[in-house]
Chains A and B, each alone.
Chain A
């Protein structure tokens, strides 16, 4: 069965600290897609990144970076030099190519609080 686990419920850091959000997934499919979404206090889910199962290359976008490791079924997200505006709930999600509709399976989310 497919599953996404975000073991960290809440993380608190001080501005400029680096922080890593963990995501572990389970799937039997060989073709699947992984996502990170950000949900700020306003409530709207904002897309951050998508990775397919055949592309293990890590990605960096500004202060954000993602580490995809199939060997450990993990897709971790690091924010470098965190800022107060990074405070939000972050969701990791999985969709499988063979699943009808490719609906997203979400983890429970990690609440990140960045204080100044």
Chain B
């Protein structure tokens, strides 16, 4: 079956602009995660959605970051007023009911100029 998909693959934006990153999880997976991979910080957890429960936002680095998940499926990560330090690869993962294995998408490479 289809894996986790993410769009766009690459995004170049100017400092101060807002960006939206999309994640389409594996069909039937109830849990969805966002992570960020950067050279300096490695792989970091950002936010987690499980079914209709309130998301766990404990990993979001600032209030410029937000995410939503519509209909328990597709998720959008929004970064407002982007900064150069937001440049990174943003990875989405999904799993069946935790603590099942997380499967990752190909990521969105974000470059903030």
The distance from the CB of A93 to the nearest CB of chain B, in whole angstroms, is 8
Q: How many residues of A contact B (CB 8 A)?
A: 24
The verdict on B1 contacting chain A, using a C-beta distance below 8 Å, is no
Instruction: Please indicate the chain A residues that have their CB under 8 angstroms from the CB of B31 in the complex.
Output: 101
Instruction: Assess the A33–B99 pair: CB atoms within 8 A.
Output: yes
Which of under 10, 10 to 19, 20 to 34, or 35 or more describes the interface residues of B? 20 to 34
- Selected from B99, B103, B104, B109, the residue in CB contact (under 8 A) with A102 is B99
Which residues of chain B in 1-56 are interfacial with respect to chain A, using CB atoms and an 8 Å cutoff? 31, 33, 35, 42-43, 45, 48, 50, 56
Residues of A whose CB lies within 8 Å of any CB of B are 33, 35, 37, 42-47, 50, 91, 93, 95, 97, 100-109
Residues of B whose CB lies within 8 Å of any CB of A are 31, 33, 35, 42-43, 45, 48, 50, 56, 58-59, 89, 91, 93, 98-99, 101-107, 109
